[in-house]
Structure formats: structure tokens, C-alpha cells
Amino acid sequence: MDTTFTPRFDKHGVREQASGSEPEIKVRDILVLKLGGGLIESGGDLKRVAGDLAKAAERQPTVVVHGGGHEIDAEMKRAGIRKQAVDGLRITDESTLEVAVSVLAGRVNTRLVAAVNAAGRPAVGLTGADAKIGLAELAPPYRTNAGHVVKLGLVGDPVATAPPKLLSQLVHAGYTPIIASIGVTRDGQLVNVNADALAAQLAVNLHATTLMVAGTTAGVLDIDQRSLPRVNDEDIERLVVTGAISAGMVAKLTSCRAARQGGVPNVRIIDGRTSIDVSAETGTIIDTATVVPQKEKAKL
């Protein structure tokens, strides 16, 4: 009997399986969408963003990663915990991590999931600790711009893994995963991870076709605050050297370059303040090399 099975894909880009075979879920054309925390605070913006996200997820399989730094800062202030940061990086001790987990995994994630569900798209809230989809290693000591070496504490760097099975299963079942930027080490330690870095690494791990980073600027801006339609490695070096971009944008560009290196073909930074339209040609295309030379890595 001929048991040859010709793979087929459903309308969501999900590979169908032969009858009686072990489930092997492979999803094509995945979009990883990173939402800045400023876009998903309570109010009208949250409802609009949730609606845009629901529309995007109807067009193609979508995995969402979000931050929430401002709300973490506000909660730390209320708790009397002093914020410590260097070059835009949050130094995370036990008390800071406790606040970050509470705010991101609790308040922010639950609020966004509820809004997306209300917009008509079934969504599921997660953190990087769930099934270790956000596996990370403790970040090494950091050398500051001033030349000092600082320990960042409970901060994690996301690592490469096989495509996370949980995310593929959720997308296959018609859900949109929404992931708070909390990571976990192999031994179960929760860690604070940069949301841009987590989104970029998940895009690589999932073999996504698109990484879109939505924030509160009109893409990448030059020194005169004009939006740049496209940037390459030389452009990024110039923007860093001239001080035209903030520490936060440097982190975004570093993550976007890492995604390009990891094989994500379409990477874009967009303005999420008015509309998150994944089909629109807006924002800044990250047109960097798929392999970044070592001398260039050292500059970021």
C-alpha cells in the first residue's frame, strides 16, 4: 500500500499531518511582533493596539512579545525600591525581579490578553518560563560606556533553541501567544530579559519570516529627527557614533541585527502610536548583513 503523504498547509500556514502519524507541527510565514510597553497601557491606545494585533493575527500566524518598563518603574517607586540602571540597562536584584514578574506577567500581560480576546482574536498569555520558550543565560558583567565593569544581576540573555513546540501548538490550534519578557535559565531561575532581545531570538528560533518592532517613534530617526526608511550596518555605526539614537534604540537595533544574522529575512522598526499595520510599508527596514563582522559587533 502506498503510504506516501504529500504535505499540505491550511489557511493559517500550518502543515497538516498524515493520519496516524506523530504530530509534527510546522508553521510557515510566522510574524513575531514586539510591542513596546508604552503602547499597551490602559486606555484607548490599548483597545486600538489590541484591534490591530487581532487583524494581524488573522492575516498570518503571529507571536507577540511585550515589555512594560514604565509600569515597572512606577511600581518600584510605589514600593520604595531604588531603580538602578547603566547605559539604559536595568540592574536587577531580587526585589526588582519580583516587581518585574508581578507587573509584566500579571498586570500588563493579562490586560493585553483580555483586550485582544475582546477584539475577537483568541489569545493566550505566557512568559518565557512557560515550557522554557524564553530560555536564557545569566548576562555576563557589562562594560559601560565609561569603561567600568558592572554586574547586571538577574538579567538574562535569550539563547538559541529548537522551535518552541508550545508556540507551534498554540498557533496550530488557532491561538495567538502573547509573551511577557521574563526569561528562565536551565536551572529554573527567573530572569529579567530585554523584550527586543527576546522577540529577536524567538523570531530566529521559530524560523519566522518577519520581525516587527512597534514602539513610540517613527522608526529609526536621524540626528535631525527625520524617519529613515532603511538602515544598513554603516548607517547604524554612524548613528551610534554621532549619538543620534538613544540607548533604547541602540538595544533595538542590536536585537534587529541579531535577528537578521539568525536568518529572519524581514525586520522592521515601526511607529505603533497611530496604527500597527503589518502590511504597510512604514517605519524603518533593517537592511543589515546576515553575518555581522566581529569588528562591527564590538561597536554595538
Residue with cell 535569550: 158
Q: How many residues does the chain have?
A: 300
- 205 has a pLDDT exceeding 90: yes
Q: What is the mean pLDDT of residues 182-210?
A: 97
Q: 280 pLDDT band (50/70/90 cuts)? A: confident
Q: Which of 3-17, 52-66, 110-124, 236-250 has the least mean pLDDT?
A: 3-17
| Confidence at residue 298, expressed as pLDDT on a 0 to 100 scale | 42
- 1 has a pLDDT exceeding 60: no
Q: 211 pLDDT band (50/70/90 cuts)? A: very high
| Confidence at residue 263, expressed as pLDDT on a 0 to 100 scale | 94
Q: What is the mean pLDDT of residues 42-57?
A: 91
User: CATH assignment of 31-297?
Assistant: 3.40.1160.10
pLDDT, averaged across the chain: 87
- 294 has a pLDDT exceeding 60: no
Q: What is the mean pLDDT of residues 86-95?
A: 91
100 by Cβ neighbours in 10 Å (0-12 / 13-18 / 19+) ranks as: buried
| Confidence at residue 162, expressed as pLDDT on a 0 to 100 scale | 95
> Residue ranges per domain, the chain?
31-297
Q: 241 pLDDT band (50/70/90 cuts)? A: confident
Q: What is the mean pLDDT of residues 51-75?
A: 96
Listed residue (151, 146, 206, 179) closest to 13, CA to CA: 206
Strand stretches in the chain, DSSP E: 31-35, 62-66, 85-86, 89-90, 123-127, 136-138, 142-143, 149-150, 156-158, 176-180, 182-184, 190-192, 210-215, 220-221, 227-228, 230-231, 266-271, 284-286
Residue with cell 559601560: 144
d(CA 258, CA 261): 5
